[in-house]
Structure 1
Amino acid sequence: MAFRGTARAVWFRREKGTTRACIGSLQLWSHYLSEYLNLDNPTAILSADLDGRYGGECEGRWDGTNYWGAENLSVMEQHLSILKPMLESFPKIPDGYDGWWRFTS
């Protein structure tokens, strides 16, 4: 059974020696799954060995000093409310989250 989907996600990106926190959409897919994927269970989705090798489509990015992304102030504030504590806590998991997931395919 094949699967292709999009998930809202946050991730880290390192460029020119600077770690950046990013938010956006991540494409996940598999040409073959051995069993039905429970789309109501985030842990099941993240544990399903899906391929995310092409990375995410970044909508907002914070490097600790500068923000890049949305020009709408309310969207920018929403992004920064997630990205700032994420980057400040790195590599510790921010309060309210259960862990980091890695897609290695």
Structure 2
Amino acid sequence: SIALVTSKLRSLVPEAKIAIAHGQMPEAELEAVMVDFTQGKSDVLVCTTIIESGLDMPNVNTLIVNKADKFGLTQLYQLRGRVGRGVNLATPSPAVLG
């Protein structure tokens, strides 16, 4: 569940500011979470596939899809298309490459 993933992330990276977004949230709360995330007030956004419905996030540089095998190629492509359009693209560090 989204709560379990968030809990695991918080235990792994306690210094990260983690936000949650899903379609069952009240619209005003969801909008506030998304605005805060796009303004950099959160480091990580744990969310459902709600991001595939037209919310472009150009400054997001990494997308991790949990249980990607449960999605179709079209849906995965749609999710991928919502992130990484900005100038802050992720690149592996020399430690990762070496």
**TM-score, structure 1 length as denominator?**
0.28
Structure with greater helix share of residues: 2
Q: Which has the larger radius of gyration?
A: 1
